[in-house]
Chain A
Amino acid sequence: MARRVAIVGTGQTYHRSQRLDVNGRELISEAVIRCLEDCEVSIKDVDAIVIGNMDHFESINYVDAWSVEGSGGHMKPIMKVTTGGTTGTSVAIAAYYHVASGLFDRVLAIGWEKNSESDTSAAIITCSDPIWDRFSYAGAIPSLATEASAYMEQYGVTQEDAARVAVRERAHAGNNPYAHLRKPITIEDVMNSPMLAYPIKLLDVCPRTDGACAVVFAAEGVAEKIALTPAWIKSTSVRHSTTWFGDVDYNTGLVSLTRASKEAFEKTGIRESVEEIDVCELYLPYSYAGLKWIEAIGFCGPGEGPRFVSEGNTDMGGKLPVNPSGGVMSTNCIGATGLIRVAEAAIQIMGKAEKRQVPDVKTAFVTGFGGCWWSDAMVLGKKKPL
């Protein structure tokens, strides 16, 4: 039987487009030190480390070993996890598994990326099959654009509908001192930004960011002694699908997210997700995801995303605030991106979110997205799970 596990501390860097003052290891240590200070845990008391970033993004292949100076992992068990965009949520879930297994009491999860060090598109193409997909369907933006245009045709969704999501994310980022892009934008700004691949324009997509995030997971019995209000992990779910880009049905919802959300909700007894969840940190890498993917989660019906968002439900003060942090479209240090979702959800439960705090958060929902349309989901709660 799995042990109960809680997040007891978090730390992140002030995310920027380029951090010339630090190398990767030094960037990692900034987040780790902030995290350890946040929960007043010594590196000596950390039993194991899980770390992740993207292969080929910094040309570092053994990040678990290479990063020891920054992670504090000298002479400790370290596991590297890399699963594309979901890396950060996979790191969190792997750290959760470590503690839940009963083998480790305190596990440090780290996600990081120094996107400024490489050409992201050139590096990310190595995720595609070199025989079948790499030369005929390259890069993250075109595949997301294909999904978006199919969704627009199916439900009569407009570019302005999607721009509303970009505007929300940036408005929220203004409350988050750690966010990379914090300047407010308007629907007109989004509409006037350069077209990349129809219907995605520059302000419809996430940036490339240098940044790191660290989170300490602790076991029941230990967690309560470390944190005044631990953020308990109530459920996790992982749905990683095929890597054949052509096997994805672009005209249906994001099936992996639907299934991961459904399982995560069922495990913890959530029936009316919009009513029972107080805040979300969703991995929305581009504006159209903020419409279509909230339908996939089940917050509203197919084609209802634009209205759900335009009515203000997902804004701060709305029925279900989405991404008080500003989300992926404001900060995207890829290996850290999913872990930042987890950390921000924990911060909301712990009541430490300052200007971006949603009042009285009891239940928070997190998603991760990556690779060829796969998804992670996590429910966190203020109350220790039964």
Chain B
Amino acid sequence: MTNWFEDVAELTHKGQIKVPYTWSVGEVGSRFLVALRDQKRILGNRCGQCRTVFVPPRNRCGKCFGEIHEWIELGDEGIVTAHTIVRYNHPIQPTPTPFAYAIVKLDGADVGFIHIIKEDLGRLKNGVRVKARFSESRRGHILDIDSFTII
């Protein structure tokens, strides 16, 4: 038996998968994003079966599998129910650090809305009231809300 492997240079190959995607937002999601873009309004909807108010809205209830038809306009304010302040930088993050990822319970909604808080982080704690700040240039995207600001 030869120990040929002792002298082998172990190679690695670099690679990157680049696949272009075009995701369908769907009718329900599109209505939400168009209202955000054109009117700076935040829409939710209520399950006809279990009465949960969802934001973002969806066409079917994930919990009870009921259909959802009833649209509701939610306020642009709410309270922070949980958060973290991010201090390390990474390309996947939406904005330079420090900033906070926060769960915001919008007025009138039963589920949390996931978004970011960029300023005034020293005052951030669970229970503070926040308000949506809309972007100047909106394109029908979740970041048409630039961030939430602490009231």
Nearest residue, chain A, Cβ from B11: A131
Q: Is the CB of A117 within 8 A of B21?
A: yes
Tell whether, in the assembled complex, residue B19 and residue A118 are in contact, meaning their CB atoms are under 8 Å apart: yes
Map CB proximity to B onto A128-155 as digits: 1 under 8 Å, 0 otherwise.
0011000000000000000000000000
In the complex with contacts A56-B19, A130-B15, A131-B13, A116-B62 CB distance below 8 A: no
Please tell me if B122 contacts chain A, counting CB pairs below 8 Å. no
Partner of A22, one of B17, B19, B24: B24
Stretch at the interface among B53-61, B86-94, B143-151: B53-61
Q: In residues 39-77 of chain B, which contact A (Cβ within 8 Å)?
A: 58-65
Given B20, B22, B26, which contacts A122 in the complex, CB threshold below 8 Å? B20
Do B24 and A23 touch (CB < 8 A)? yes
Residue B1 at the chain A interface, CB threshold 8 Å: no
**B-side contacts of A22, CB under 8 Å:** 24, 26-27, 59
A23 to B19, CA, bound (A): 19
- Are B63 and A74 in contact, CB atoms less than 8 angstroms apart? yes
Please report the C-alpha to C-alpha distance between residue A24 and residue B59 in the assembled complex, in whole angstroms.
Answer: 12
CA distance in complex: A72, B19 (Å): 29
B23 within 8 A of A: yes
In the assembly, what is the distance between CA of A118 and CA of B24, in Å? 11
A26, A58, A116, A126: the one within 8 Å of B60 (CB): A26
Cα–Cα distance between A117 and B15 once the two chains are bound (Å): 23
Separation of A29 and B63 alpha carbons in the complex (Å) = 13
- Give complex CA distance A122, B21 in Å: 10
Q: Are A74 and B17 in contact (CB under 8 A)?
A: no
Given A23-B26, A130-B13, verify A122-B18 contact (CB < 8 Å). Answer: yes
CB neighbours (8 Å) of B62 from chain A are: 68-69, 74
**How many residues does chain A have at the interface if contact means C-beta atoms less than 8 Å apart?**
29
- Check A59 for interface membership: any CB of B closer than 8 A: yes
Chain B residues, CB < 8 A from A122: 18-20
Q: Which of B13, B20, B63 is A119 in contact with, Cβ under 8 Å? A: B20
Contact B23–A23 (Cβ < 8 Å): yes
- A116, B22: Cα distance in complex, Å: 7
A20 at the interface (CB under 8 A from B): yes
- For the complex, give the distance between the alpha carbons of A276 and B23 in Å: 45
Residue of A nearest to B12 (CB): A131
Chain A residues whose C-beta falls within 8 Å of the C-beta of B59 in the assembled complex = 22, 26, 29
Determine if A21 and B23 form an interchain contact, defined as CB atoms under 8 angstroms apart: no
Question: Which among B21, B24, B25, B29 has the greatest number of chain A C-beta atoms within 10 A?
Answer: B24
Cβ-based interface call for B28 (8 A) = yes
Q: A72 contacts which chain B residues (CB < 8 A)?
A: 65
Establish whether residues B20 and A74, one from each chain, have CB atoms under 8 Å apart when the complex forms.
Answer: no
For residue A56, which residues in chain B have a CB less than 8 angstroms away from its CB?
17, 19
Cα–Cα, bound, A378→B62 (Å): 33
Chain A residues with Cβ below 8 Å from B23 are 23, 58-59, 117
A18 to B63, CA, bound (A): 28
Chain A residues near B (Cβ < 8 Å): 18-26, 29, 43, 56, 58-59, 68-70, 72, 74, 114, 116-119, 122-123, 126, 130-131
Residues of B within 8 A of A (CB): 13, 15, 17-29, 58-65
- A–B Cβ pairs within 8 angstroms, 14 of them: A19-B24, A23-B24, A23-B26, A24-B24, A26-B60, A68-B62, A72-B65, A116-B24, A117-B24, A118-B20, A119-B19, A119-B20, A122-B20, A126-B17
